[in-house]
Each structure stands twice: as structure tokens, then as C-alpha cells.
Amino acid sequence: MSIAPNNSFDPPRPAPAALGWLAFLFFIFTQVYAVVTSPADAMMGHLQKMMYVHVPAAEVTFAAFGVVLLASLHFLWKEDERADLLAASAAEVGSLFCGLTLVLGMLWGRPTWGVWWSWDARLTSTLVLFLIFVGYLSLRSFVEDPHRRGQWSAAVGILGAINVPIVFMSVKWWRTLHQLPSNPRSLSPEYLRGLLLNLAAFTLLAAWFIWRRYEAARYERSAEHASQAAALGGYDG
């Protein structure tokens, strides 16, 4: 089964470019604010400031893959092609931030643990999550039929998203080098303010990236539908 050409499949209204610049400037502000206002940690010194990029990157990774889960389920239920494109857009952005999380974790782990990489439960499960979504994106590039691509991608996306709580709980379920998740009540206000501000900044950036990628995907599919309609003699040009 394939999705029939649909002349009503119009691209979305473009988001104002100013929103992207505001998100980026807010991100710069929160980074500077967190670094300048937070004192050096008693044990890790200024290395603690990696928290302001590593933790938010991990959190928005989970959120993006949550979008993949919801959009994939919606596609399987309603067969709405827009949901498939949203899932793919969120998967791309989530994979980007997941890769960033791994790199930042390695940079933080080297001076903390003495090694760049350990087959720690948190690191290993995060790597598995990253590889699942790299496979998701690869699958989409190899399957041409939109309906089949959407179905197969949705299955892989749901499987990958199910791994998110495993990654989150890994430090509690298994003996691990990675520290337990930070508790907001245990953080001093100087650290907590910077962390929450950066979490908001990363979330805005990720949402902007997802929406822009979704816009591009809708334009691409709109052009494909128009081309298919023209080939079938149903497009006036």
C-alpha cells in the first residue's frame, strides 16, 4: 500500500526567523550566566560547569525521542503522513543531541574517571539509544515507499523510545561509574538556577530545530506530491 498523491498536503506556515535568533541568544545568555555566577565545586572545581551543557543535552534528547514515540503512535493509528514527518524531524534532532551527550560525557569522564570511555551502564545504554536512532534515520533513507517507510520507521522509533527509561534508570538498576541523577533539592541555588535556565534554553533550541526540520520535510513532501500528481495527470501546474 502507498500513500496517494494529495494536492492538499501544503507546507506549514514558516516560523518567524526572529524566534530562532531569540532562542540562540537566550542560550548564549544562560551559558554565560551559569558559568559566571556558579562557584567552583568543592570536589570537581570548575569542571562541574560541564553540567550546564551535558545534563540539558541529555534531557532534550529524551524529550525529542518522546516526540518520536507520540508521533509514531499517531501515524500508526491515523496514518497521517505529517505525524511521520514530525517523528523523523524529532529523531534527527534527538540523534544530534544524543551524540552531543555522549561526547560531552566522554570529555567530563576523562578527568573524573581517568578514562575516555567505560562500558558503564549509563554510557552503554546511551550508546545503544544513539545507534538505534542512527538506524532509524538510515532506514528512512533506504525505503522509498512513503507508507512502508512510515510504518517501519514508526516501529523502530517506538522501540528506540522505549529505551529512554532504561537509560534514565540504568544508574539505579546497575552498579555504575556514573553518578545518580541530581536532585534539585540537593543542589545549591547557584547551581540550580544555571541548570534550569540552560534546560529551558536547550529545550527552546531543540524545539526550534525540530520545527525547522519539519518545515523542510513538509516542503519536500509537498513537492513530491505535486510531482506525482503531475505524472498522473491530476496536477494543473
Q: What is the CA radius of gyration of the chain?
A: 21
Lowest mean pLDDT among 55-59, 133-137, 220-224: 220-224
Residue 79 lies in a domain: yes
List, for residues 42-67, the tens digit of each pLDDT value.
Answer: 777 778 888 899 999 999 999 999 99
Q: What is the pLDDT of residue 1?
A: 42
Q: What is the pLDDT of residue 224?
A: 72
110-121 mean pLDDT:
84
Q: What is the pLDDT of residue 128?
A: 95
- pLDDT band per the 50, 70, 90 thresholds, residue 231: low
Residue 210 lies in a domain: yes
Contacts of residue 214, defined as CB under 8 A and 6 or more positions apart, other chains included, come to: 12, 85, 86, 89
Residue 1 lies in a domain: no
CA–CA gap between residue 31 and residue 38 (Å, rounded): 11
Residue 9 lies in a domain: no
Other CB atoms within a 10 A radius of the CB of residue 141 amount to 8
In this structure, are residues 178 and 158 in contact, taking their beta carbons and an 8 Å threshold?
Answer: no
Which cell numbers in the block locate residue 172?
539505579
Residue 4 lies in a domain: no
Question: pTM of the predicted model, to two decimals?
Answer: 0.86
Given a cut of 90, is residue 31 above it in pLDDT?
yes
92-119 mean pLDDT:
90
Q: How many domains does the chain have?
A: 1
List, for residues 76-88, the tens digit of each pLDDT value.
Answer: 999 899 999 999 9
Residue 8 lies in a domain: no
- pLDDT band per the 50, 70, 90 thresholds, residue 188: confident
Chain centre distance of CA 99: 10
Residue 86 lies in a domain: yes
Q: What is the pLDDT of residue 189?
A: 80
Given a cut of 50, is residue 5 above it in pLDDT?
no
Lowest mean pLDDT among 22-31, 50-59, 182-191, 218-227: 182-191
- pLDDT band per the 50, 70, 90 thresholds, residue 39: confident
* Structural domain of 22: 17-227
CATH of the domain at 30: 1.20.120
